[in-house]
Amino acid sequence: MRRIATGLASAAVAVTVTMTATMPGLTTSAADAATAETGATYLVGRGVSDSTGEPAEAGMMGYADLAQNTAGLHMRPRSRAFVIADTRSGRRVVHVTADVGMIFQSVRDKVLARLGERFGSRYNEQNVMLTATHTHAGPGGYSHHTLYNITTLGYHEKTFNAIVDGIVDSIVEADADLAPATLTLSQSSLDNANVNRARAAFDRNPAADKAHFPNATDTLSTTLEVHRNGKLDGIINWFPVHGTSMSTDNRLISPDNKGYASYHWERQVRGVDYLDQQRPDFVASFAQSNAGDMSPNLNLAPGSGPTEDEFENTRIIGTRMFDAARSAGGNDPVSGGIDSRLVYVDMSDVAVRGEFTPDGKSAHTCDAAMGSQFAGGSTEDGGGGLPGLDQSNPLAAIVSGALYTASPELKACQAPKEILLPLGALDLVQQKLPVQLVRIGDFYLIGIPAEVTIVSGLRLRQAVAKIVGADLDHVLVQGYANAYAHYLTTPEEYEATQYEQASTIFGRNELPAFTQVSADLATSMKNGTTLPLGEKERDRTNEQLPTLQGNPIADAPPLGRSFGDVLSAPKAEYTKGQQVSVVFAGAHPNNNLRRRSTYLAVERKVDGQWVRVHDDGDWSTKFRWAREGLAASKVTITWDIPQDAATGLYRIRYFGDARGLLGGISSISGTTPLFTVD
C-alpha cells in the first residue's frame, strides 16, 4: 500500500553502532564518530560537482536535431553523489544523479577506472550506480557508440572529460564526507507534473495493470532523506518525468526541470554556493524512475504546459517536484543492510522463461533494431528521431524495405515493428547491457539502462518485491542507469505503432527479459549468493573519430576592439524585476570550460568590497555566445533581477580564455560600468 507522508518528524533508527573490521577506507575519526553516535546505522557522504560540457557549437544530446547546437549556458549541469555505508557489514553503495541526457558505457567504464586508481576495489562494478536526469539541453558526443554521435558529427572529448570529471569528483567528495546518519523514506502523490504521452499504447495493457495508474500517470514521489546530528543534510528523490521542459528550439545548456529542483533546494532555499571550495552542507538529488512515457509538457506539445514559456515550464515543474519532496517529510525509518548486484547481459540473445511472458510460453529477444516510427521522434516532446528519416520521408520506407529483404529473421523476431535500422548488425548501439539491483535497508532500486514506461516499471517492481519480500512502494525502477538502450515497453504496448515501441530495440520480449534478469538478481540477493559479472562489450576508446565541431582555431576581437571590451553597456539604473543585458567582446568558450568556475559574475558593492551574488550557475543569469565573422566572439550576458535582490551598486563581469594563432590560451576579462538597483 502506498505510504502518503503526513509531515511527522522523522524517527531515528535506535541501533547502537559497532564498527567492523570490514569497513574499508574509513578514517579513525569517522570510525570513532560512528561508534559514539547512538541511533545511526549508516555512514552517509554527499558530494556535488560541476559537469558542464562544451557551451558553443556542440550538438545537443536528446532530440537528435542537427540544427540544435549549443550557443551558451543558462545553468551549469552537475553531478550529485551519495555514498551509503552499513557500519555493521562494511558494505557500501554509491548513487549518482548526473545532469546529462544519458549515461553511456564509455562514461561508466572511465569513472570506474578513475575510482579504481584512487580507491582500489572500494568502488566497483557491483556497488556503483550511475544515473542520468535525462536533460535534453546538454552537449552530446560523449558516447563511444556511433549512433549517439551522429548529430554531433563525431566524438567530443572535452564534453566526455567534463562529465567524467564531474561524476568522479562528486563521488570523491561524498567519500570524504562520510559521517553517521539515519535514513528515512517518505512517499507522496504528485499529480500535476507529468502526463502520459503514449496513452494509446498504455491503454493496451491489462486492466489490473492500468488500475495502478488511474490517470495513466505514475504520481509516486519517493524521497530518501539523510539526517545527521538531528538535521536534514541531503535527499534523493525519485519521480518519473522526462527532462524535456526545454524544447528543441533551446540552445542554452540547462539541467532542465530536475536540475532546477536540485538547484532550488540547494542554492535558493539552503544557500549553497557551488563556487565555494568548502563541501556543501546540503545536497538534493532529483533522480528518474520509470519515465519512458511521462512528459512534463502537460499540453502534450513541445514546450507547452503549464505555460507556453519553456523556461517558466522548467521552473514550475522543478518547483512542483521540490514541493512534493520537501512537504512529504520523511516518516518511515530505513533499517537493514546494504547490498548490490550487477550483471552484464547480451539483451539481443536472451532466452526468456515462460513465467515472465504474458502468455506463459518461452520466448526470445532479438538483435537490436529501430522501427520506422522512431524516425519521426516524439510528437509530444519534439525531436528524438533520425535526422532526415522522419515518417514523411519516402527514404524511410525504402530503407525498411531493403532491410526486410536482407534480414527476414530479424523482421520475424521484431514483428509487428516495421524495421528502419538494424542497429545491432551495424554495431551502432550497446547490446551487452548492465542490469543492477541495489538494496538500502528495506528499500530497493532496480537499475535499468533504458527509458522504462510506467507499466513496464510496475512489472519489474512486482517481480523483485515478491522475491525479496518488500512492500511494492519500497521497490523502485531507477531508469537511465549505467548505460543506454532506448525504451522499454510492455509486450502489449509493443503492438502499438508509436515512437516508444519503435525504440524498444530488442523486440516484443525485451521487458520479460529484463524482468527475468532482475528476478535473478533479487533471488541472488535474497539467498546471499554471487553471480558472474557476464561479458562486457569491447573498449571502444581508440575507435573514436574526434569532431571538428566546436573546436576553434584562433580567437580575435572585433576590429578596433580588445578582448573584454564592453560593446553594449547597462543602463545607469534598474528596478527589481527588470532585465540587465550587456555585451562583451569575448572569445570562444570551449577554450576553457571553466569547471568549478564561471563565465560571468554579478557583483554588488558591500562595505567597500565587491561581492559575487550571482554567477553562470544561477537561474537568473544567461550566458549567450555568438560568432562574429571567422574568429571574433560576441558574448551577451543577461541578469533578470530577482524581486528579493538587495538595493545598491552593481556591476557585471565576464571571464573568458582566448586562443592565439600558435595555440596558446590566455585569460581575458571585462567589467561593465556600474549601475544601481532600487
What is the number of helices (H) and of strands (E) in the chain? 13, 34
Q: What DSSP character marks residue 265?
A: I
* pLDDT of 400: 53
How far out from the chain centre does Cα 31 lie? 33
* pLDDT of 403: 53
* pLDDT of 530: 96
- What's the chain's Rg over C-alpha atoms? 25
Q: What DSSP character marks residue 155?
A: B
**Residue 202 banded pLDDT, cuts 50, 70, 90:** very high
* 45, 281 contact by CB (below 8 A): no
Percent of the chain with pLDDT over 90: 86
Nearest to 510 by CA among 350, 271, 331, 627: 350
* pLDDT of 557: 96
DSSP per-residue codes, 606-630: ETTEEEEEEETTSTTEEEEEEEETT
Nearest to 517 by CA among 413, 434, 430: 434
* 64, 383 contact by CB (below 8 A): yes
What would the pLDDT profile of 337-350 be if each residue is shown by its tens digit?
999 999 999 999 99
Pairing state between β 475-478 and 487-488: unpaired
User: Distance between CA 256 and CA 238 in Å, rounded?
Assistant: 15
Name residue, grid cell 544601481: 676
User: Distance between CA 318 and CA 308 in Å, rounded?
Assistant: 16
Q: What's the whole-model pTM score?
A: 0.93
C-alpha cell at 503: 525504440
Q: Is the pLDDT of residue 197 over 90?
A: yes
Q: How many residues does the chain have?
A: 678
Q: Is the pLDDT of residue 377 over 90?
A: no
DSSP per-residue codes, 204-232: TS-HHHHTT-TTSS--EEEEEEEEETTEE
What would the pLDDT profile of 419-445 be if each residue is shown by its tens digit?
999 999 999 999 999 999 999 999 999
Helix (H) or strand (E) holding 421: strand 419-421
Hey, which bits of 179-325 come out as E strands? 179-189, 195-196, 220-228, 231-238, 283-287, 294-295
What would the pLDDT profile of 438-447 be if each residue is shown by its tens digit?
999 999 999 9
Comparing 395 with 677, the larger pLDDT belongs to 677
Q: How far is CA 352 from CA 214, 357, 368, 529, in A?
A: 30, 8, 16, 22
SS (H, E, C) 344-412: EEECCCCEECHHHCCCCCCEECCCCCEEHHHHHCCCCCCCCCCCCCCCCCHHHHHHHHHHHHHCHHHHH
Q: Is the pLDDT of residue 393 over 90?
A: no
* pLDDT of 473: 96
Q: How far is CA 640 from CA 261, 275, 318, 637, in A?
A: 19, 20, 19, 10
**224 backbone φψ class: left, alpha, beta (φ>0; ψ -120 to 50):** beta
User: Distance between CA 582 and CA 84 in Å, rounded?
Assistant: 45
Dmax (CA) for the chain in angstroms is 78
Percent of the chain with pLDDT over 70: 90
User: Distance between CA 510 and CA 431 in Å, rounded?
Assistant: 12
Q: Is the pLDDT of residue 278 over 70?
A: yes
What would the pLDDT profile of 342-374 be if each residue is shown by its tens digit?
999 999 999 999 999 999 999 999 999 999 887
650-666: average pLDDT: 97
* 283, 266 contact by CB (below 8 A): yes
Instruction: Determine whether 378 is an active site residue.
Output: no
Q: Is the pLDDT of residue 581 over 90?
A: yes
- What residue type is assigned to position 172 of the chain? V
Nearest 5 degrees, angle CA 64-CA 70-CA 71?
145
93-114: average pLDDT: 98
* 347, 353 contact by CB (below 8 A): no
What would the pLDDT profile of 23-75 be if each residue is shown by its tens digit?
444 443 443 444 344 457 899 999 999 999 999 999 999 999 999 999 999 99
User: Distance between CA 445 and CA 129 in Å, rounded?
Assistant: 10
Q: How far is CA 92 from CA 279, 308, 337, 438, 587, in A?
A: 21, 44, 9, 10, 45
* pLDDT of 6: 31
DSSP per-residue codes, 465-509: HHHHT--GGGEEEE-SBSS---EE--HHHHTS-SHHHHT-TT-TT
Phi then psi dihedrals of residue 215, to 5 deg: -105, 20
| CB atoms closer than 10 angstroms to residue 350 | 21
* pLDDT of 178: 98
User: Distance between CA 183 and CA 232 in Å, rounded?
Assistant: 10
Instruction: Kindly name the residue from 295, 372, 400, 503 that is annotated as catalytic.
Output: 295
Sign, Cα dihedral of 110, 111, 116, 117: positive
DSSP per-residue codes, 539-550: P-GGG--B--TT
User: Distance between CA 635 and CA 581 in Å, rounded?
Assistant: 11
**Residue 247 banded pLDDT, cuts 50, 70, 90:** very high
Nearest to 137 by CA among 244, 64, 262: 244
* 127, 162 contact by CB (below 8 A): no
Residues contacting 105, CB < 8 A, separation 6+ = 144, 145, 430, 434, 482, 483, 536, 537
Nearest to 251 by CA among 58, 38, 440: 58
* pLDDT of 391: 43
* pLDDT of 454: 98
* pLDDT of 19: 29
DSSP per-residue codes, 437-459: EEEETTEEEEE-SSEE-HHHHHH
What would the pLDDT profile of 299-325 be if each residue is shown by its tens digit?
999 999 999 999 999 999 999 999 999
Phi then psi dihedrals of residue 365, to 5 deg: -85, 175
Pick among 2.60.40.2300, 3.60.20.10, 3.10.20.30, 1.20.200.10: CATH of 566-677: 2.60.40.2300
Pairing state between β 92-98 and 128-132: parallel
Strand partners, 637: 582, 623
Nearest 5 degrees, angle CA 438-CA 442-CA 443?
50
C-alpha cell at 203: 491503454
Name residue, grid cell 504520481: 219
User: Distance between CA 302 and CA 62 in Å, rounded?
Assistant: 13
Q: Where are the domains of the chain?
A: 28-338+455-477, 566-677
Pairing state between β 600-606 and 573-574: unpaired
* 167, 131 contact by CB (below 8 A): no
